[in-house]
């Protein structure tokens, strides 16, 4: 007896919430959250990660269901290796921003009659852009795109196992896509919640304890690099490259 559509949607949503707790997801989002402070921006970073993650999953699901194909195991491992390398790059980039040219500074915004201030990091600027104002909006576009792209990479890497499970148990294409969509909505909500929780200590420490704030951000960067290396080692062992 096949499960009802509501059961599939509920299961997909619950698994999406759980999926947001994967260590590689938390490591990646923690480096993004560590580049700025404020609970709103932390929540937004997590939600944008979920949007990118869901978009990638749905795109892959449509292709695989339409063509009735599977993702080759070798391609699945390559995508997972891409996640590992991305985690290493995110952590190294944050460490570089903290070490040289990317200090934490206060940035003011005005919304109508209300002005609020929040601290955040800028990536080190090349010499040829030294005259560029830090109050421009280009870096905000970059910080918005980063979590979406990171989520898309995670979505592509996680699509292999997810699609195999979905296509093996849900013969109806519409129901399968509904499951993936519900899974994506759950991951958006789950990661928005987790990124808010990750941003709490940063928002608290930023205004009070500069050294603690820096230590938290360095810890997030080092953790991201460590998780990336750990994943890469596991993938290399599974592929037989590392014995």
Q: What is the pLDDT of residues 105-161, one digit of tens each?
A: 444 445 455 544 444 444 443 333 333 333 444 445 556 788 899 999 988 887 767
Q: What is the pLDDT of residues 212-227, one digit of tens each?
A: 778 888 888 999 999 9
Residue 126: is it exposed, middle or buried by C-beta count within 10 angstroms (0-12/13-18/19+)?
exposed
Give a yes or no: residue 126 inside a domain: no
Give a yes or no: residue 115 inside a domain: no
Give a yes or no: residue 133 inside a domain: no
The per-residue pLDDT for 222 is: 93
Give a yes or no: residue 14 inside a domain: yes
Angstrom distance (rounded) from CA 205 to CA 234 = 35
Regarding predicted confidence, which is higher, 233 or 242? 233
Give the 3-state DSSP-derived string for 19-65, with helices as H, strands as E and coil as C: HCCCHHHHHHHHHHHCCECCHHHHHHHHHHHHHHHHHHHHHHHHHHH
Angstrom distance (rounded) from CA 36 to CA 202 = 8
Domain count, the chain: 1
Angstrom distance (rounded) from CA 190 to CA 214 = 26
* Full residue range of the structural domain in which residue 19 is found: 5-99+139-238
Alpha-carbon distance values, 238 to 23, 26, 188 (Å): 19, 23, 30
Regarding predicted confidence, which is higher, 39 or 152? 152
Give a yes or no: residue 114 inside a domain: no
Which residues have C-beta within 8 Å of that of residue 10, sequence separation ≥ 6? 182
Angstrom distance (rounded) from CA 27 to CA 94 = 12
Give a yes or no: residue 151 inside a domain: yes
Angstrom distance (rounded) from CA 186 to CA 14 = 6
Q: What is the pLDDT of residues 53-104, one digit of tens each?
A: 989 988 888 888 888 777 888 888 888 999 999 999 999 988 888 887 444 4
Q: What is the dihedral of CA 106, 37, 148, 233, to 10 degrees?
A: 120
Residues facing residue 119 across a β-bridge: 106
Mean pLDDT across the chain: 77
Q: What is the pLDDT of residues 173-219, one digit of tens each?
A: 888 888 888 988 999 999 999 888 888 887 776 666 777 778 888 88
The per-residue pLDDT for 22 is: 87
198-210 b/e (C-beta count within 10 Å ≥ 16 → b): bbeebbebbeeee
Give a yes or no: residue 112 inside a domain: no
Angstrom distance (rounded) from CA 156 to CA 179 = 16
Helical segments of 68-171, H only: 73-99, 138-169
Q: What number of residues does the chain have? A: 243
This prediction's pTM: 0.76
Give a yes or no: residue 128 inside a domain: no
Q: How far is CA 65 from the centre of its chain?
A: 25
């Amino acid at each position: 007896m096949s499960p009802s559509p509501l059961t599939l949607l509920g299961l997909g949503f619950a698994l999406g919430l759980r999926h947001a707790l994967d260590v590689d997801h938390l490591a990646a989002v923690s480096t993004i959250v560590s580049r700025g402070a404020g609970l709103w921006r932390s929540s937004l970073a997590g939600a944008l990660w979920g949007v990118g993650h869901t978009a990638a999953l749905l795109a892959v699901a449509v292709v695989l269901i339409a063509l009735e194909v599977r993702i080759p195991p070798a391609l699945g491992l390559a995508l997972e290796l891409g996640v590992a390398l991305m985690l290493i790059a995110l952590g190294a980039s944050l460490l570089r921003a903290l070490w040289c040219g990317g200090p934490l500074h206060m940035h003011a915004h005005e919304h109508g009659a209300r002005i609020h201030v929040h601290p955040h990091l800028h990536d080190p600027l090349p010499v040829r852009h030294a005259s560029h104002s830090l109050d421009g909006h280009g870096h905000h576009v970059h910080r918005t795109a980063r979590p979406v792209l990171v989520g898309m990479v995670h979505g592509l890497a996680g699509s292999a196992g997810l699609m195999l499970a979905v296509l093996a148990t849900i013969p109806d294409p519409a129901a399968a896509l509904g499951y993936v969509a519900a899974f994506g909505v759950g991951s958006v909500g789950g990661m928005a919640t987790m990124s808010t929780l990750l941003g709490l200590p940063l928002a608290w420490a930023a205004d009070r304890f500069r050294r603690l704030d820096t230590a938290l951000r360095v810890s997030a960067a080092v953790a991201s690099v460590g998780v990336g290396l750990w994943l890469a080692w596991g993938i290399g062992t599974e592929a037989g490259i590392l014995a």
